[in-house]
A and B are shown apart, each in its own frame.
Chain A
Amino acid sequence: MTHTAMVAWSGLLLGLLFGATGRLSGFCLMRGLTNAWAPTPEQRDGRKLRAFAVAMAVALLGSQLLVSVTALSLNDALYRTASLSWLLVPLGGMLFGYGMVMANGCGARSLVLLGSGNLRSFVVLVCLGIAAYMTLSGVLAPLRVWLEGATTLALPARDLPGWLMQAGLGANLARWLPSLLLAGGLLAWALSSRAFRASPRDWLGGLVIGALIPGGWYATGVLGFDDFEPVRLASLTFIAPIGESLQYLMLSTGTRLGFGVTVVTGVLAGSLITSLATRGFAWQGFPDHTRILRSIGGGALMGIGGVLALGCSIGQGLSGISTLALTSFVALAGIAVGAGLGIRGPLALSKV
């Protein structure tokens, strides 16, 4: 098997695992945030958010461990930029976060839901994919490129270890100190809740999904390593890949099947298989036209925002953070703020 075929098949496998786990555990940052930030204390439930924290910690530790034991370097990852747009990265994160609340789930969650028969997610995904490519290379791309150029801010370093090394720390210490502190903090917070510890569905879900992130780096960075025909280093992320999948459906004779498309296919298939196997598959449509509008609007905001922020809740929140890239922290903060605006406050979207 050629290395590109191996990468494509690993993408399918990782996607299947993500789809099945997502379906069984209900892993979802948006649900986690709405539950945790519910208006009254009785409604609050931090389990889903803690599951996301576990996934972050596992992704971070797993990826850093992978860098230690293999020749893999995460320096070529998209997230480790030398400069960022001080406007577009946080703004994109906010648009994404708000869109996620509007559409009732992020891109990855929509794939999982579509696999279980939720047709609202179909509308979300089509709008998300089109909006992402409009921003990436379509009618909005010139504006994006111009704004990116006009608001560039040079970063002191690409990632936290690089920053700490400038402060005089050794390479290994600079890498492991923030990794262990961050992962330890996330795990300690997640496990401090008795309700969370008593909910294996949530912590197992977080554990498995977190472990898929180093799996993605391994697939593209180690299995896909070839000096002569390099494969782009990537792990799980969903905004551009959902758009790419739509494009692949239309242009497959002239494009090559890559990691992102097979991951998306895998998530959809994994969720579908799991739903059928557990007899959980059920067609769901739109109760009224406002839900259609919310799906369209939410999908479009996630597509545009996800491209501006260089990733979604999974792409920046898990894959990006696992590289300790400075850009990822900015993007993730933007996503949290955007989601917060959608959940509470004057711009809040009513619960449906």
Chain B
Amino acid sequence: MPHSFRHMTLSRRRLLRSSAGGLLGLGLLGAVPSLLFSPAALAGDAWQRLEAAQQVIGDATPESDGLTLDLPHVSEDGSAVALTVGVEASLDDGDYVESIHLFAAGNPNPEVAVFHLTPLAGKPEVSTRVRLNETQQVVAVARSAEGKVWATSREVRITVSGCLMRGDDVPEALSNPRVSVPGSFTAGQPGEIRTLITHPMETGLREGDDGETLPRHIIERFKVSVDGDTAFEAELHQSVSANPYLRFHLAPERSGEAVFEWHDDTGESARETSQLNVS
């Protein structure tokens, strides 16, 4: 099982903090339901306080309606929190969602991932699994080709888990790429694509058993092209969970070959191809 960031130091730090905050927390529990049951309070403006998100937004005034970020309220496993982000707003003819940026405000590096979409990607909805260091706001920013901008955020509470060190053998990085595509597509209609690859996504922040910091080793780029045209691209950072999982969509007009490529920061890459049948 993948470990969360800096596993050892983290639990110790959280230990101190939660012992102190434990009793106080009991008293504050009463205030929690009111927060949870009003989505408006949750879709706060955490993106305004996050510089990395501000840089993406620039001078634009982002809308919050139309961009949804689906995450559990509470997660006991901060090393792999399932997340889905999607743009539901209707766009002008010819316009499409060009990029979706994900940030975790409380992680050592707030950038989580950037997804670059094209008209070929059909439905602008992406799922992945991310690492969250502590209870924090997750922020999503989306941009359309014509410059519309959306921003939203969600709070996720991370609690400690059993997290027994399993000491499993580390599988070979970039081994076993897996791709699932629909048996057939209807021309121009989005079909769901799921991909998974074995990779430690070592953050460069964690210590190994010998106390030495383990070197950073992550997949930085994932790319899908259909008959040579780029359809979907993802830039991944350390906050993406080990064995990166990506779910997205493709809407091919005619049958063709999709090529999936994963590139890691050592220059190694993996490649997988799959036939897309349009009926």
Q: Which residues of A contact B (CB under 8 A)?
A: 78, 81-83, 136-139, 141-143, 145-146, 148-149, 227-229, 247, 250-251, 253-256, 310
Contact = CB atoms under 8 A, between A and B. Distances in A.
A251 B82 CA distance: 16
Contacts of A145: 11, 15, 160, 163
Q: Which secondary structure dominates chain B's binding surface?
A: mixed
A223 to B, nearest CB: 17
Interface in B1-54: 11, 14-16, 18-19, 22-23, 25-26, 33, 36-37
B76 A136 contact: yes
B164 interface: yes
Given A251-B36, A254-B36, A137 B160 contact: yes
Given A142-B18, A228-B180, A228-B196, A310 B162 contact: yes
Interface string B160-183: 111111110000000000101000
B167 A82 contact: yes
Contact of B165 (A82, A247, A254): A82
A142 B160 contact: yes
B163 to A, nearest CB: 8
B165 A137 contact: no
B217 interface: no
B171 to A, nearest CB: 13
B26 A253 contact: no
B164 A251 contact: no
B23 A142 contact: no
A247 B15 CA distance: 22
B164 A83 contact: yes
Contacts of B221: none
Given A142-B19, A254-B73, 15 more contacts: A83-B165, A137-B159, A137-B160, A137-B161, A139-B23, A142-B15, A142-B22, A227-B196, A228-B178, A228-B195, A228-B196, A228-B247, A229-B82, A253-B37, A255-B73
B72 interface: yes
Nearest to B20: A142
Given A78-B162, A228-B178, A139 B73 contact: no
Contacts of B196: 227-228
Given A142-B160, A255-B72, A227 B178 contact: yes
Enumerate the 5 nearest inter-chain pairs by beta-carbon distance, A residue then B residue, closest first: A254-B73, A137-B159, A139-B22, A142-B15, A228-B194
7 contacts: A137-B161, A143-B19, A145-B11, A145-B160, A227-B196, A253-B37, A254-B73
A143 B167 CA distance: 23
Contacts of B167: 82-83
Interface in B71-122: 71-74, 76, 82
Contacts of B11: 145, 149
Contacts of A251: 36, 73-74
A340 B268 CA distance: 60
Nearest to B17: A142
A141 B33 CA distance: 22
Given A78-B162, A82-B165, A145-B160, A228 B245 contact: yes
A300 to B, nearest CB: 16
A82 B159 contact: no
A141 B72 contact: no
Contacts of B36: 251, 253-254
